[in-house]
Amino acid sequence: MRLTMVGTGYVGLVTGTCFANTGNDVTCLDVDPAKIKTLEDGGCPIYEPGLTDLIEKNVKAERLTFTLDKEKAYRDAEMIFICVGTPTGKMEGDADLSYVMGAADDIGKVLKELGPNQEPKVIVVKSTVPVGTSHAVRDRIREIAGPSIPFSIADNPEFLKEGAAIQDFNYPDRVVCGVEDERAAELMKEIYAPYVRSGNPIFIMDVRSAEMVKYASNNFLATKISFINEMAALCEAYGADVGKVREGMCADSRIGSQFLYPGLGYGGSCFPKDTLACMAMGRNSDTDTQLSTAVHDVNQRQRTRFFQKIHDQFDGDLAGKKLAFWGMAFKPNTDDIREAPALTIMQLCKDAGATCVGYDPVAAENVAKDHPGLCEVCEDVYDTLEGADALVISTDWDDFKHPDFGRMKTLMNVPAIFDGRNLYALALMEREGFVYHSVGRRAVTPGAVTA
């Protein structure tokens, strides 16, 4: 099938490449000339494991092309997937739909030029959008193209995770398609057939429900994270160990163990904005969304609580202190730094007078580019520790799981670790002689008598 992806970000580029890999003829369109140039030169504008090789393979097979030319991208496509960003807008958490509606405008113009005798295209909204948006896209295209132009609208939320995006796309737990006509349903089933061969379901439903599935899923996962972080705070207050509490709790098959790791709270380009968008949908419809509001508040507080631990360690005086940060991406295996907790905590430390030095295996370049002056970026993980008054572990990259503690102590001014990801056993930290603060567990202070 001839497909066009609108937007070559994490979703559009992965989706387009994976669809090309099953034999479709895919055009990836973007408005960012730098991204298209990188792709045309054989590079990849984002870090996603396995993606560069898969792009190369499909470009060679002449099934995958990149363009800035909207007219060309839209004209020949049988299905158009809108995969542009829907960040938080300026209005109290409402999703900014300007990119989605911008794409609708472009598509409407091309459809108008093609006239009433064209084969009807299916326009698929893949971006995460508030309920009703796909219908607004349909109405905008209709308004621009005119009433005699045939096309149909669909909503197909994406559930891939950055860092495991190709695996998630190729082996989805489920595929959700919101459609308004039988033909769109059949085309969606056809295009996804290679990905649901092992019996994983493809759900065909109405457009509004499909849009809501995505928010309900992300909001639920965000709720689990805020829940365990709230329990972690209680563990700290009452001397329990959240690691043990987790084990005891997660053995219950009704509860399960995923997304129940205490830490610095969720970040990234989805959970924060999608929780806010749910709250905005509630506000806009006079529907109470107390739970979403609490989930968001707990998440924001998690960052300031952790900063407070650092602040308290230095008796409230961070002026002139040097803090090393390991990990700046919002989670491991991605270079995405949107809403990354590390950056919020760095900013709080910097505002309190500290200087920050950061290392990340793949996200450092983005930090230097998008947040100049926030921290000094190091290329080697141990270089961050020279003369450091404390280490903050902010992303649980594998690289940080078994460091050379002896070397760390010789480099650091003070052997203190603030571990936002609970990477190390308390007994190990005691043996190594570190001051050690983590999440939901007692603090380790060398010399102090512990129970």
Ligand X SMILES: NC(=O)c1ccc[n+]([C@@H]2O[C@H](COP(=O)([O-])OP(=O)(O)OC[C@H]3O[C@@H](n4cnc5c(N)ncnc54)[C@H](O)[C@@H]3O)[C@@H](O)[C@H]2O)c1
Compute the distance between CA of residue 93 and CA of residue 85 in angstroms, rounded to an integer. Answer: 15
- Residue-wise burial string across 89-119, b where 16 or more C-beta atoms lie within 10 A, e elsewhere: beeebbbbbebbbebbebbbbbbeebeeeee
What is the torsional sign of CA 70, 184, 2, 4? positive
Selected binder of ligand X within 3, 29, 279, 381 (CB under 6 A) = 29
Asked whether position 102 contacts ligand X by CB under 6 A, the answer is: yes
Asked whether position 79 contacts ligand X by CB under 6 A, the answer is: no
Which of 440, 111, 91 is CA-nearest to residue 273?
91
Asked whether position 368 contacts ligand X by CB under 6 A, the answer is: no
* Interface segment toward ligand X; rule CB under 6 A; list 99-107, 324-332, 403-411, 443-451: 99-107
* Interface segment toward ligand X; rule CB under 6 A; list 158-166, 169-177, 294-302, 366-374: 158-166
* Interface segment toward ligand X; rule CB under 6 A; list 25-33, 47-55, 179-187, 394-402: 25-33
Query: Shortest distance, CB of residue 376 to ligand X, whole angstroms?
Result: 27
* Interface segment toward ligand X; rule CB under 6 A; list 49-57, 101-109, 409-417, 419-427: 101-109
Give the CA angle between residues 121, 13, 63 to the nearest 5°.
Answer: 65
Asked whether position 9 contacts ligand X by CB under 6 A, the answer is: yes
Q: What is the DSSP string of 410-429?
A: HH-SS-EEEETT--S-HHHH
Q: Using the minimum distance from each CB to ligand X, give the nearer residue, 70 or 321.
A: 70
Query: Is 235 a catalytic site residue?
Result: no
The upper half-sphere exposure of residue 273, i.e. CA atoms within 13 Å in the direction of its Cβ, equals: 21
Asked whether position 162 contacts ligand X by CB under 6 A, the answer is: yes
Six-digit token pair at 186?
Answer: 């059949």
Selected binder of ligand X within 2, 22, 25, 31 (CB under 6 A) = 31
Asked whether position 30 contacts ligand X by CB under 6 A, the answer is: yes
Query: Shortest distance, CB of residue 269 to ligand X, whole angstroms?
Result: 5
Query: Shortest distance, CB of residue 352 to ligand X, whole angstroms?
Result: 31
Compute the distance between CA of residue 174 and CA of residue 178 in angstroms, rounded to an integer. Answer: 13
What is the torsional sign of CA 291, 92, 271, 351? negative
Query: Shortest distance, CB of residue 8 to ligand X, whole angstroms?
Result: 5
Tell me the site size for ligand X, rule CB under 6 A. 27
Q: What is the DSSP string of 110-149?
A: HHHHH-TTSPPEEEEE-S---TTHHHHHHHHHHHHH-TT-
Asked whether position 270 contacts ligand X by CB under 6 A, the answer is: yes
Nearest residue to ligand X by CB is 9
Interacting positions 118-137 with ligand X (CB under 6 A):
127-128
Q: What is the DSSP string of 242-263?
A: HHHHHHHHHTSTTT-STT---S
Query: Shortest distance, CB of residue 297 to ligand X, whole angstroms?
Result: 21
* Interface segment toward ligand X; rule CB under 6 A; list 4-12, 204-212, 319-327, 436-444: 4-12
Which one from 83, 270, 349, 356 is the annotated catalytic residue?
A: 270
Q: Using the minimum distance from each CB to ligand X, give the nearer residue, 96 or 399.
A: 96
Selected binder of ligand X within 32, 143, 206, 312 (CB under 6 A) = 32
Asked whether position 246 contacts ligand X by CB under 6 A, the answer is: no
Which of 397, 317, 396, 381 is CA-nearest to residue 349?
317
Which of 310, 58, 324 is CA-nearest to residue 166?
58
Alpha-carbon torsion, ordered 104, 106, 107, 109, to 10 deg: 120
Asked whether position 108 contacts ligand X by CB under 6 A, the answer is: no
Q: Using the minimum distance from each CB to ligand X, give the nearer residue, 203 or 433.
A: 203
Asked whether position 6 contacts ligand X by CB under 6 A, the answer is: yes
Beta-carbon contacts of 353 under 8 Å, excluding residues fewer than 6 positions away, are 317, 318, 319, 320, 321
Query: Shortest distance, CB of residue 300 to ligand X, whole angstroms?
Result: 19
Asked whether position 103 contacts ligand X by CB under 6 A, the answer is: yes
* Interface segment toward ligand X; rule CB under 6 A; list 27-35, 139-147, 169-177, 245-253: 27-35
Residue 170, judged by CB atoms within 10 A of its CB (0-12, 13-18, 19+), counts as middle
Query: Shortest distance, CB of residue 22 to ligand X, whole angstroms?
Result: 20
Asked whether position 85 contacts ligand X by CB under 6 A, the answer is: yes
Selected binder of ligand X within 269, 275, 313, 333 (CB under 6 A) = 269
Q: What is the DSSP string of 148-211?
A: T--EEEEE------TTSHHHHHHS-S-EEEEESSHHHHHHHHHHHGGGSTTS--EEEE-HHHHH
For the annotated catalytic residues, the residue numbers are: 270
Where does this chain bind ligand X (CB under 6 A)? 6-12, 29-32, 35, 83-86, 99, 102-103, 106, 127-128, 158, 160, 162, 269-270
